[in-house]
A and B are shown apart, each in its own frame.
Chain A
């Protein structure tokens, strides 16, 4: 696979526009940080920075699992439900009398939500069922299971072992374990996504599945791998966040669904326009979470975020759509 032929797309020739398109996200991030540092009191305190980074790590993990599906040309709306389900299974298991191993419970939660996703993945990949609508259905089913498990309220149990809140309480060199864990996982995923054969295959499948199949790559296998990665990472994110919050609210993932999709979409505007990438997801979720944090710190109404998110999304994607002839990776559905 010739890497250059993939990268070297015909951008319109203006260097400044090209630069703007590539670093739009980073420029926005710097502006956002500068503005909020100036106008929000106590914005750059360590405590607030840790709060922002924790949520960013969580949203970026969710964003990755959304992005990897978009990268192979499918779409998913069940990320939030997957995260909640994994956390709910984990919490429910630990709530039972005889089960005290946090790691095993988290593993079971992640495995459970991933298995449900794989059921849908089978129909999406083999039967060509539109993933966009199939995952909408899946998220409804998953939220039914979550309601059943949590009794439609915040799940909190005194039987939970102390290790359940380990990501909230423990620190590494003064940095909360949640941040370290989330960004370590993101680093590994970023390397897999950008530097390995698998990562390139994922891109190829999304860019042109037929050509990829013709060059002897098993497209179905790559798609299955993408779905497994997505399910596992979403599950991990859910368990991390539940541990960080010390409870399992039934809106754990659903609250962040739109932010997640937005971050995943924005990632295609960063560094490598047109290709979804992990640094883009991280920067994208960073921006969105900073805005969320600052807006609520300012005491402004939380729904101002809707407007800002929409504007950033439309401008970001608009720039890419204008400077790139090919547009973004195609997602097929229906």
Chain B
């Protein structure tokens, strides 16, 4: 029973929260509102999936939020030009640019030997600075020169379902298959849980990390495109908020099913739960402070739960004599 609760508590909390809001606010349950929640949640979820690729290897990409913001700006700027009107082309260029940025992250971390946390901290500043200069530190909203296709991804519907939700489903399926079913996905997690063992097995740690950074950048680029399209805007100053949201999402997600491991279903559920709470509280007309308080408490609570679960499972394993130390993966942020 306890194990069941431990595994599925997030689902139970989600259902409970859902019911609570349903009773408190009748309009909450409308199809439009549900879809609005799913749409907003999908951006945080895709960013979260991106960061998962890096976190799985035991590193962290602090520039993810800025990458999302930069992606919106690239899209907006490209489509603003009169000579450029291919939407697909703009998407490809954005993703390509972000892949290059992912390479830069990997280069600074691996070749220059700067700890990933500080390296990405620095590169995010670099990216932010460059784009602030390019845009003159202003956002673009609903420009006339943008083609209609600009908002299709974020506001369009396909068979009555928002395109964003469809995109989220497709992307998370790809990510889930990649991390769970392929050798390359397994390597990422293997590196994070025991880098020494990977070294002995002949797995090239640097190659895995580089792949993690580039995958993260691709997903962040897509998340940025989704966000820009949804809000019909392009601005470099939305980065910090997306970062903390995405980190909250994956930490809460890590408490679902596989405790302590970043996993895709957990990330999706967590993104939905957090956005639902945000939406519900706004509907109820509570102040900004309550939303902040709830978001922070959920982050801390899930974090503590992850550690409690981990410690308990470690005790169970060691007392049943299987010889595992149950040690948690430690991310070596500085040096080493």
Contact = CB atoms under 8 A, between A and B. Distances in A.
Contact of A329 (B133, B247, B335): B335
Contacts of B225: none
Contact of A307 (B129, B287, B308, B329): B129
B61 to A, nearest CB: 13
Contacts of A142: 296
Given A301-B133, A313-B118, A327-B336, A333 B331 contact: yes
B300 A330 contact: no
Contact of B333 (A120, A123, A307, A332): A332
Contacts of B293: 140-141, 144-145
B6 interface: no
A220 to B, nearest CB: 16
Nearest to A78: B296
A152 to B, nearest CB: 7
A317 B297 CA distance: 34
Contacts of B300: 120, 123, 134, 137-138, 141
Interface stretch (B35-43, B90-98, B106-114, B163-171): B106-114
A330 B333 CA distance: 6
Contact of B303 (A129, A143, A322, A330): A129
Interface stretch (B8-16, B119-127, B144-152, B204-212): B119-127
B275 interface: no
A334 B328 contact: yes
A333 B288 contact: no
A130 B330 CA distance: 9
Contacts of B334: 327-331
B333 A333 contact: yes
Interface string B63-97: 00000000000000000000000000000000000
A78 B262 CA distance: 24
Contacts of A30: none
A145 B121 contact: no
B104 to A, nearest CB: 11
A306 B125 contact: yes
Interface string A318-330: 1001100011111
Nearest to B288: A147
Interface string A48-66: 0000000000000000000
Contacts of B335: 321, 326-330
Q: Which of A120, A138, A304, A310 has the largest count of B CB atoms less than 10 A from its CB?
A: A310
A16 B244 CA distance: 42
Contacts of B247: 133, 136
A261 B121 CA distance: 10
Interface string B251-277: 100000000000000000000000000
Contact of A322 (B112, B122, B336): B112
A301 B115 CA distance: 30
Contacts of A328: 115, 118, 334-335
Contacts of A265: 118, 121
Contacts of B55: 334
A317 B311 CA distance: 35
A34 B179 CA distance: 53
Interface in B280-331: 287-293, 295-297, 299-300, 303-304, 307-308, 311, 328-331
B304 A313 contact: no
B130 interface: yes
B206 to A, nearest CB: 15
B67 to A, nearest CB: 14
A128 interface: yes
B112 A321 contact: yes
A313 B289 contact: no
B264 to A, nearest CB: 17
Contacts of B129: 303-310
Contacts of B251: 133
Contact of A140 (B108, B119, B299, B329): B299
Contacts of B112: 314, 318, 321-322
Contacts of A326: 335
Given A144-B290, A332-B330, A332-B333, A327 B113 contact: yes
Given A75-B117, A133-B303, A303-B133, A310 B331 contact: no
Contact of B114 (A123, A134, A306, A321): A321
B299 A334 contact: no
Contact of B115 (A128, A137, A140, A327): A327
Nearest to B192: A334
Contacts of A141: 292-293, 296-297, 300
Interface in A95-146: 120, 123, 127-130, 132-134, 136-145
A322 B330 CA distance: 24
Contact of A314 (B60, B114, B291, B331): B114
Contacts of B299: 133, 136-137, 140
Nearest to B124: A310
Given A314-B108, A322-B113, A144 B289 contact: yes
Contacts of A1: none
B172 interface: no
A334 B329 contact: yes
Contacts of A311: 126
Contacts of A258: 125
Interface of A: 75, 120, 123, 127-130, 132-134, 136-145, 147-148, 152, 258, 261, 265, 301, 303-311, 313-314, 317-318, 321-322, 326-334
15 contacts: A127-B304, A130-B331, A134-B303, A140-B293, A141-B296, A304-B129, A317-B115, A317-B118, A318-B113, A322-B112, A330-B332, A331-B115, A332-B330, A334-B55, A334-B331
Q: Which 10 A/B pairs are nearest by Cβ-Cβ distance?
A: A327-B335, A140-B296, A306-B129, A307-B129, A310-B125, A144-B292, A141-B296, A137-B299, A303-B132, A144-B293
Given A144-B290, A310-B122, A333-B331, 13 more contacts: A123-B300, A127-B308, A136-B247, A136-B248, A137-B297, A140-B292, A141-B297, A313-B121, A314-B119, A314-B126, A321-B114, A331-B115, A332-B332
